Amino acid sequence: MLIGTRTAEPRGAGRDWRLAVVAGSCSSLGCACLLLAACSGIPLRAPTPQVHAPALTPEPIATPAVSLAPLQAARIPSPWQRLRDRYAMPGCDYSPMVSRFAAAIAANPRDLSAAFKQAMPFLLVVTEQIEKYDMPGEFAFLPWVESSYTMIPARGDGVAGMWQLMPRTARELGLRIDAEYDGRLDVYASSRTALVLLKQYKEEFGDWRLANMAFNAGENGVKQALGNRHSITPVEIARLRLNTTTYEHLTKLLALACIVSKPERFQVELPEPGADDVPTLLELPAPIDLRLAAQLAHMDLAQLRRWNPAYLKARMPDGGPFHLLVPATHRAEFERVLGMLPQYAWRDWRETKLQQTQSVDTLGMAYDLDARALAAINGVDAGASLAAGTRVLLPAHGGSNAVAAAAEPSAPAAANTSITSATQTGTCMVRPGDTLWEIARRYSVRVEDLLQWNRLPRNSTLRLGQRLLLSRPQ
């Protein structure tokens, strides 16, 4: 398979301070990488036994085979020892340059610790995937070398995501990329795809270090450097005709592994995950509006988008995928409340300002939704009365200027034959999907009037074929 050449660093200047911790602090050592060829004369420690995993083939990204385990309240497993136990490459002992890069990266230990903490949810996802596919623990630091675990957006045909995948490479490995969804920004899907690629390189070149170099320089670059050789020693790896950036890429990876293996040596405190750092992968049967998802997950919208940046619009695309990373602590509540809503009501929600005082029960009846679900979504009691001017999240049946059930519905843009006929006869027939609010909007009447004219209780359910009066009875 022909894989396009990649670049070592994300393009553009839009990086956060975390990238400066890793890459910026190493800039002073850039020229020193030229000494790697000289290091080839230093006897290198033989690599630890390689991890021999079963062949890994790309899976359909839209339906991941497993979800992250739900959070156990009693104990949150730390990722650090789990990764150390899976190390398969010499880290601190690989060459003098590894120790120098490690010292440069850890020059500001507090900043590095804070950066690790901020990346914790993504690091936990990658750790779980590494364990699932039986991969070396060092590769948990590859997104750090590439992007400091930052979901860098796509620019033209360039790389994107925390793994910095090229679009052609991503598509060849099964990731979907279009105007609504970019799989390179999907934490779960892109991590699996990157591990697929690394596994293929390992099988082709026989060494995890060469796999890392191919990830940076491209498959063809490593092939050309190897020539006709079918095996290579550690000393020969240091003498390959590859550019300085590719060697520096491997050195940074091993330097980060070195820091994590001996944090006390670099005075770095490795943070432990908190309850809200632990993600779970939530599979859904239908698309959902991200504003609704944020409320259900007890996250603000910016945080939900940070965890799920692959969705480029306000809602999931109709063609999927339909999965979300959310805090494991809120998964049960998310599923409980969402299960109270019909699927057709999931995909389009907007913040609305009430024009008059209204109860949650009336809003639920107007939108034909469970009032308890509306209350949970908006963080109020089920029996609460909401004052005029209150902003609530409601289904966007009437467009962005709709004022829920408490407002005068806007007149239809144009009358049609069925509306005219119904108005003349003074009645209408309930059709599939109709709610009181929809009928009120369609015929330019108030929900409260429909209730009064038809003597309907506030908790009434409409029936197909039911006839409703559209004016005050004589």
Residue 324 is inside which H or E element, if any? strand 323-327
The string of pLDDT tens digits covering residues 328-339 is 999 999 999 999
- Tell me the H-state helices in 53-186: 79-84, 96-105, 109-118, 120-132, 142-147, 167-172
Alpha-carbon radius of gyration of the chain: 28
DSSP state of 413: S
Q: Please state the rounded mean pLDDT for residues 451-459.
A: 82
Distance of CA 169 to the CA centre of its chain: 20
Do residues 354 and 389 make contact, with C-beta atoms less than 8 angstroms apart? yes
Q: Give 427-433 contacts, CB < 8 A, sequence gap 24+.
A: 427/467, 427/468, 427/469, 427/470, 428/467, 428/468, 428/470, 429/465, 429/466, 429/467, 429/468, 430/462, 430/463, 430/464, 430/465, 430/466, 430/467, 430/468, 431/464, 432/464, 433/344
User: What pTM does this model have?
Assistant: 0.73
What is the three-class DSSP state of 325?
A: strand
Q: How far apart are CA 45 and CA 42, in angstroms?
A: 10
CB atoms within 10 A of CB 34: 11
| CATH 1.10.530.10 boundaries in the chain | 17-266
- Tell me the H-state helices in 316-403: 331-338, 360-366, 371-378
Report strand pairing: 349-353 vs 427-429: unpaired
Q: How far apart are CA 424 and CA 428, in angstroms?
A: 10
- Residue 453, pLDDT > 70, answer yes
CB atoms within 10 A of CB 91: 22
In order of 197, 221, 447, the CA distances from 434 in angstroms are 50, 61, 13
Q: Which two tokens stand for residue 220?
A: 């063809």
Q: How far apart are CA 280 and CA 297, in angstroms?
A: 11
Q: What is the dihedral of CA 308, 311, 312, 313, to 10 degrees?
A: -110
Do residues 259 and 266 make contact, with C-beta atoms less than 8 angstroms apart? yes
**Residue 410 pLDDT:** 33
The string of pLDDT tens digits covering residues 24-78 is 444 444 444 433 333 333 232 233 333 333 344 444 433 333 344 444 434 678 9
**Residue 169 pLDDT:** 93
Burial 75-87 (b: 16+ CB within 10 A, else e): ebeebbebbeebb
**Residue 83 pLDDT:** 97
Distance of CA 322 to the CA centre of its chain: 11
Fold for the domain defined by 17-266: Lysozyme (1.10.530)
- Residue 374, pLDDT > 90, answer yes
Fold for the domain defined by 417-469: Membrane-bound Lytic Murein Transglycosylase D; Chain A (3.10.350)
The string of pLDDT tens digits covering residues 135-156 is 999 999 999 999 999 999 998 8
Q: Which two tokens stand for residue 5?
A: 């050449």
CB-based contacts of 414: which residues, under 8 Å, 6+ apart? none
Of residues 201 and 37, more confidence is placed in 201
| CATH 3.10.350.10 boundaries in the chain | 417-469
